[in-house]
Structure formats: structure tokens, C-alpha cells
Structure 1
Amino acid sequence: MGLDYRKSILEALRDSVGEWVSGQQLCHEFGISRMAVSKHVRALRQQGYEIEAAPRKGYRFHDGPNLLLPEEIRSDLPTEVLGQGLIEYSQVLESTHLRAEELALAGYREGTLVVAESQTHGRGRRGRSWYSGSQTSLCMSVVLRPPLVPDWATMLSLTIVVAVADALLEATNLPIRICWPNDLIIGERKLGGVLVDISSDLEAIRYAVVGVGLNVNQTSVHFPPELRDQATSLRMESDKVWNRVSILQKILVHLEKLYWSLDDGFTINILQRWRELDLLLGRSVSLETMDGVISGVAMDISPDGRLLVQDQNGKVVPVMGGKLKGIPPLLSTTSPRS
């Protein structure tokens, strides 16, 4: 019950942000003593909440901590499902993606969210590691249970990457682009990535786990030396410290909207939006694949998620998976439409 009282006190103070709320009012509303109210306020302050206290006035809420706390994420979150159920928070976690997969296998409902301030073994595509700085990056994974057949798996992944990119464009107004198949780029530096793992049988997708790793408030000194010429962050691109909870909420809103719109008629819109956001199209690329290095010009993205590369002989080669050998220079600094 203690945590429930604490949550209720926080909500009452937040609802009156900037105004004094008397201790007696809180005692009467929740049926607890003044000492108990004081204890819960003290605990909230220790979590990083800015709450002012004054004799004969009570308590006044100013701001919350820039931590990915469940109560912060749920506050004014305008989704119906994503982030409305279990939100599992950790200061340090091996991988939000691995934990979300465990919860999905255990039967947790759609919208279950796992967040962490840092990861010790963050996962990227094809099992690659992902660096995440403590309390400066955004590490999140969410469980989906799409009512789709396995043939829709690739389109689901494309939709999710587009949703995350559009959420960041709206939130930041920075020139963020997609680098096939799942990277988020500003200029020639990596901002983050999206990982979608899907479990299915022959007839249906059982669940999908969507992982997002995003560099938010790092400066160059936060990155290991070997990554400093490859990585960037929202802060480095804008000279601004960003509220990570607001960014996360924006991602959940866009993800839910596009995910629920996914049907036969909507796939054309998703593919067109991907083409607008993908920085590779029309540029020379070189990709390391299981069949060797494929070089040529990136021409298009196919409905099944393959990058269509025209080689030097004019043959169009569909590439399902591969590692890009360097990011080709941008030919334009024009931002994609948000």
C-alpha cells in the first residue's frame, strides 16, 4: 500500500503543478497521517522529483526527474495499449530486448514495456552489441501481439522503423533519416537503431518484440573512443538537453498509430514513406552479405523489405540482409517531411 499512497500523492501534486497543496488536504484525501505524507514526499524527492515544502503552506510540485520511471511514462500518455500495462523499470539491465522476450514468452499482454537507464549487453541487429550510456540514452523494448500471418512480418518491421523515425522527426525537427535496414542516422553518424524480433508458427505471429536504442543526451566524451567519429546524439545535434520520457512517449504514440493502421491498403503508404526517409536510395552502396560483397546503386525497397541494388552490369540484385560498408555521403541536407 505504501507505493500506492506514494503514487497517489505524486499524482495529486502533479495535478496542481506550481501550486501549494496542504499536508492536511493530502492526509484527508488519502486517509494517512502527516508523518506518512512527509515520508512519501521525502522518498519522491530522493527519486529526483522537485517538490518544495514550506510550513503552513504544504507542498508544491515543480518538475520530475529525467529518469524513465513508470509513473513518468504513464503521465499524460495518450495511447490506448502501448505503455498502459506493465512497465518494468531497471537502473541497469543486461538487455531490455531479452527481458521483453521473456515477458512475451510468459504471456504478458500487448503493450508491456521494458525500460532501463543503461544496458550491459544491449542487442543490435544480428546479435551485434549496442552501446548505451547511463541515463543519457533511451533503451526500451515493447511487446506486440499482432493479429497477422507470418507473411506480414517484414511489413510489420518496416512499419515500426518508419513509426520511430517519424516520431523523432516530430519531436526534434532534426534531419533524421533511415539507413536500411534499421538504423537511424543524422548526417553520416548513427543516432540509434530499431530491432524487431518476431516469433511465429506456420499460421500466425505469436508476438513481436520492438527494441529501440537511441542516443539522446550524450556528448562526444560519453562515447568510447572507437565510436566518437561514428555516433551522434540528439544533444550533440541540437545543443539541447532532451527529456527522454517525452521522446519515449512520442515513439509509443506513433508506433501505436501506424501499427493499428497496418492493412493491405496502408502498405503502399508505408513503402512510400520509407522511400522518403531512406538515405541510401539513389546512392552508391557496398554491402557485405552471406553471398559476398554486393556493390552498386540502391534503387528501391521491395514490399518484402529487400534493398534493390543495381550492380555495374545493370542487374538489380535484391538484398535481404547485409552490413553496409560505411555510410555514403549525403547528397542533400534537405530534411524529410514530418
Structure 2
Amino acid sequence: MMADRSTNRFVMPRDSFQAAYLDLHRSGELQQRAAQAIADLTHCEACPRQCGVNRLENETGVCKTGRDPIVSSHFPHMGEEDCLRGWRGSGTIFFSMCNLRCVFCQNYDISQEGHGRITSPERLAAMMLELQTAGCHNINFVTPEHNVPQVLEALVLAIEGGLRLPLVYNTSAYDSLESLRLLDGIVDIYMPDFKIWDPEHSMRYLKAKDYPQVARAAIKEMHRQVGALTLDQHGLALRGVLIRHLVMPEDLAGSSEIMHFLAQEISPDTFVNIMRQYRPSGKVGAEDYPEINRRISHREYQQAFIAARQAGLWRFDQRLR
């Protein structure tokens, strides 16, 4: 029997949507989760690095972040996927620092050098409300993996201030299952990258050999929580998983294997953005990591896209990225 590829299955009327976190807040469960998550920062295991430092005393581990998060910027982002940016932008909050060490990071000054300001829970909540007032379609937390407790803490305050927008968790997929389970019933839209398939390549380029294993488990958990991506009648994302994958030179990302995993172990209905904007950045140069010191070719991009279709995937972001 031919698979049902009707897009109508993935449309929800906007007026029947409610942000997932509102019920948990009304029940008091959100407040309890936030309080426990903050308390657990005394021996931080918020991400797979499991550094064990006391962040409540501003000790820092791999992410170099203490009690409060560092925020680089917040603004209506018009460069995200069409289903997120819409016509008024995605309300992005860019957290600084990262639990990965991607040598090719295009935001190296933010992710590794810590550009930004230490931000209190009250200020983080105010940022969410400012973005809602600006007309953004959602609140988009970028690189939140090491700041899940602080996001929950600020979210409680933002809801009390009137927040009602869908939440986007925009992640590298280097997430702990414990943190993701804290977000169950809170996050509406998960947007993980799946960066690299091979552990040795992950060690060389991300400085995390366990990245592929962690990412597979994380994406499975995200899909368990929210399922395939659902849009409203205007094409705006409301709930579900949207996967990003950046094609790399020489297929060092393992695009074919990643697409097969998504189709076979997540769902052939998975919405995927196969991105072509790789460029040498961060630590990449003629002497360091010369094998990725170039942009990808049109052929390399097309091969990744063909691999996705051959795997059985069919829902793609249509813009060339």
C-alpha cells in the first residue's frame, strides 16, 4: 500500500492550538520542575558532558556558564525556515557558549568566545514577552542545551506575564535525556541538528565522540513527545519535530546514513531542512582541517537530497539554504 503523503494530515487550525506549557503551569507541575532543575545545578548534569560542577556557586564546566545564562541577542529572526519566520519573524533568543566545540561553527564568537551578557531569570522572561509584543510567531531558544533549568525558571515568570506563543527548542541534539524529559509537555517544536553520523568524525570536528549516539537518542525522545511537524492553515509550525542537517564537504557528515535513520527509525513524515550554506569558519583554514576548507559543491548537495528521497523522506524545507 502506498504511504499517505497528504499534507492535510499535518495541518491544525490555529484557533484549536494552545501552547503546551500552559496546562503544566496551571497544574503547578511546571513550577515544580523548574525548582528541581535549578536545585540540581549544584551538581550539574544538564547536558551529556555531566561536568558535575556547582553552577549555583558560579562554578563552570565545558559550557563556561554559571548560575545564569549568557544571552548574545534576542530579536525577530527573518532567516529561519518559512514555517517558523512567517511574516513577522521567529522570536529568537541566542544563548552564548555551547557544550560542543564545532571547529567549523559559523557563530564562533557566540558559541565559543561567549559574546553576550549574563541574564537574570527576570530579564530572560522579559525578552520572551518583548518578542511576543513585537508580533513574533514563536519563541525560539537557540543553543539551549546547557540552560534548560534556567529556561524553565524564566518561563514560569513569562507565563505569569502573559506568554502564550509556541516554544521552539533549537538545538545541536547534544542533549541529555533527563533534560529533554523535563521539557516534555513544555516544548511545542523541537528543531535539532543532526550534524555528523560517524563517531570519529564527531570527535575530530565536534570534539564529542559520543555525539551520534546522543543525537539519535535525543531525536527519538523529541519525536516521542511531539511527533511529526504540524502546521497551521497559514503554514506556520505549531508542534512537532523539524530536523536540520548541514551538508559538509566530502560527505563527512554522513548525510545518507542520517537520512536513512530519520526515515526508518523516526518517521518518513519527518520534516527536514537539508542545508547547503556550509562555509569554512571558526578554526577551519588551509593549515587546520584543510579537508573542509571549502564550500560544498552543487553535486554534493544534490547527492544528500537524493539520499533523503531514496530513504523515503518527503517533507522538506523548500528554500535553498
Q: What TM-score comes out, normalization by structure 1 length?
A: 0.23
Structure with larger Rg:
1
Structure that is richer in strand per residue? 1
